[in-house]
Structure 1
Amino acid sequence: MDKTGDVLSHICAVMNSLSPSEKAIATYVLDHPSDVATMTVRELAAGTGTSPASVSRFARTLDYRTYSDMRLALGISISRASGEEKATGGKVTLDDVEGSIKYVLSHKVKELSQTASLIDSDDFSTVVNLLHNANLVLIAGVGNSISMGVNAAFKLSQVGVRAFCPSTTDAMVSAATSLKENDILLVISTSGYSKRLVNIFDSAEDSNTPIIMITDNPDTPLAKRATYIIRAISRDQAITGTEVAFSHSSINFVIELLFLFLTSCWDDPVEFNRIISKNLLGDRQYS
């Protein structure tokens, strides 16, 4: 982990995997980051109804050696906060619509910037080439990630990749049983947690199919089974103060990057333009 990176984003990413006491500390840090940046271990433990040992363990969960290291990184994160975020007191409110919009926008800009900064160039190039040369790309997700999977399948198909995303998780499980070694499994999951994806991973591993996962949490058991991971940062919990994940801005950003880089894989510009014209402009023939 980047020790001077955004502590709040990391907390959001691991929130679902925390113990109850750690979750209480995490929620307090998200709600009172400026206060925590000046609090001792004992003060934070008292403020959260936990223990100093729990606070220290929470810091180590975030990959910091000590609580002091985490507090220093939190202070750096706060110092980088935009003026717009401070304007509304860190919340969305109808009492200040303009300020709230700027507050949300500041978080979204950070999401995309952090997502871009975490992309490994070599791994990303390998992922693009795997998708370009795949016989078939099966896209899987659960809940509202399915809509992003359908979007990804559409975009990949536009650049000549044979991709599809079944409309239900059960259909994905069934389709995964037919995966081959020269296919690709592309999984979209912000949290990285879903029991319903386990069988899909099992089938991909049985057929030696490479697994590409787009997620905000690379430390989950499922994510650790992926061949390649692309981080897509989510700050939803920092915006709403709840555990509800509602946005796919960074996931959509990753999908669009894949689309754009896949356009560069075509050696024959004439053939590429033919495919693009067929997929993107075909409807205009009937306008």
Structure 2
Amino acid sequence: MVTSVQDRKKTGADLPATHEEMVQAIAASYEGLSKRLKQIAAYALDHPNDFAIDTIAETAHKADVHPSALIRFAQAFGFDGFTDVQKLFQRRLLEAHTSYEARLKSVRDAGDNTPPALLERFTQSDIAALEHLRDVIPADKLEKAIGLLGSARVIHIMAMHRAFPLAAYFYYAAASMRRRVQLIDNTGGMGREQLNQIAPDDALFVASFSSYTPEVIHAAEETHRRGIPVVAITDHPLSPLIANSSICFHVRDAAVHDFRSLGASMCLVQTLVVGLGAGA
């Protein structure tokens, strides 16, 4: 639930002090926002660089809202005005040596489509995505996720469509380490029966990317509702997996000509699995 300025002052709630904290606050409060404020939240998360440097009039035009809505957006999170929120986004730009978005844009804008040039663009995009992953994933979050998975009697694994390779690798690598794992793959249309096998002392690992496979979201929601640990990988701070997991990693994989890589997401899966093995 989003609190007003007065409510925050009464309760002594801390304002977001960094861009990362602001993203977390938006994700946690998103469902309670009005339609217009949701529109601004989505724009801020999708276009953080523009949100940092544009005037309030320019931001309002791009987000298709009235400028006063930007002030209400800031106040919904306890700030006095739009510029207070904007400063968090500006600080993010100042702290980055070369922004991830700018590096990817330079790769995408190259016009040469010969095979060697395509290989160069894919590798450079993945390098940028991997370095971004390294910079933004908190160590304590990794340790907590590995702890939840490591204490589970059985780790159940589920992903579909583009995310399926993450599940397949997790299952293969963990099984090779003699971890008790089950792949929920809906073989024979028995996905519901497979999901019902998750016991209270188990854990669920899921991955899903936009436009979010309903079966995976349902599995995470149902398992999380039962109080069973769910560790998730997704691609957006407003992904439905955020609200239906114990720990959710937001990963920005590289894309060239709209062909999305799994390099960063797979690197994170490898980190989780090897971390499991190291703690065995």
Verify same fold: TM over 0.5. yes
Which of 38, 57, 60 aligns to 1:42? It is 57
**Displacement after TM superposition at 1:221 (Å):** 5.6
Tell me how far apart the structure 2 counterparts of residues 223 and 107 of structure 1 sit (CA, whole Å). Answer: 21
CA contact (8 A) 1:159 1:259 kept: no
Structure 1 position 167 matched with structure 2 position 185: yes
Task: Find 2:111's aligned residue among 92, 95, 99.
Answer: 95
- Structure 2 gaps of 5+ residues are 1-14
Q: Is the 8 A contact 1:216 1:232 kept in 2?
A: yes
Match of 2:160 in 1: 142
- The sequence identity of aligned pairs, in percent, is 14
TM-score of the pair, normalised by structure 2: 0.66
**Cα distance in 2 between the residues matched to 1:218 and 1:25:** 10
User: Is the CA contact (8 Å cut-off) linking 1:56 and 1:67 kept in structure 2?
Assistant: yes
Cα deviation for residue 263 of structure 1 reads 2.1
- Find the aligned partners of 1:100 and 1:264 in 2 and give their Cα distance: 31
The answer on whether the counterparts of 1:192 and 1:218 sit within 8 Å (CA) in structure 2 is no
Q: Deviation per CA, 1:104-154, whole angstroms, max 9, x where unpaired?
A: 633431133212x264266235224224xx1x3221223222221111111
Q: Which secondary structure state, in structure 1, belongs to the residue aligned with residue 92 of structure 2?
A: helix
Q: CA deviation at 1:45?
A: 1.4
**1:106 equivalent in alignment to 2:145:** no
CA contact under 8 A between 2:156 and 2:182: conserved in structure 1? yes
Structure 2 residue 172 is the aligned partner of structure 1 residue 158: no
Any stretches of 5+ residues in structure 1 without a counterpart? 267-287
Report how far residue 171 of structure 1 moved. 3.8
Counterpart residue identity of residue 112, structure 1: R
Is residue 2:266 matched to residue 1:252? yes
Q: Secondary structure at the match of 1:182?
A: coil
Are the structure 2 counterparts of residues 219 and 175 from structure 1 closer, same or farther at C-alpha, using a change threshold of 3 Å?
Answer: same
Helix, strand or coil: the match of 1:95? Answer: coil
Q: What TM-score, normalized to structure 1? A: 0.65
* Shift in CA distance, 21/216, structure 1 to aligned 2, threshold 3 Å: same
2:206–2:220 Cα contact (<8 Å) kept: no
The Cα of 1:76 is off from its aligned counterpart by 2.3
SS at match of 1:94: coil
- Aligned residue pairs total 254
Identify the match of residue 275 of structure 2 among 261, 269, 274.
261
In 1, Cα distance between equivalents of 2:103 and 2:268: 30
Distance 1:41 1:148, change over 3 A: same
Q: Confirm whether residue 126 of structure 1 aligns to residue 126 of structure 2.
A: no
Q: Which one of the candidate residues 77, 82, 90 is aligned to 2:92? A: 77
- Is 1:177–1:203's contact at 8 Å kept on the other side of the alignment? no
Q: Distance in 1 between matches of 2:45 and 2:180?
A: 45
Distance 1:103 1:32 in 2: 19
CA distance in 1, matches of 2:90, 2:229: 40
Partner of 1:188: 207
* Structure 1 Cα separation of the partners of residues 55 and 196 of structure 2: 53
Superposition RMSD in Å = 4.5
**Alignment of structure 1 residues 271-282 onto 2, 5 Å:** none
In structure 2, distance between residues paired with 1:91 and 1:223: 30
Q: Greater CA deviation, 148-157 or 106-115?
A: 106-115
Matches of 1:171 and 1:22, distance apart in 2: 37
Residue by residue over 1:213-255, the C-alpha shift from the partner in whole angstroms, topping out at 9 and shown as x without a partner, is 33355666653343x204242265xx679xx793433332232
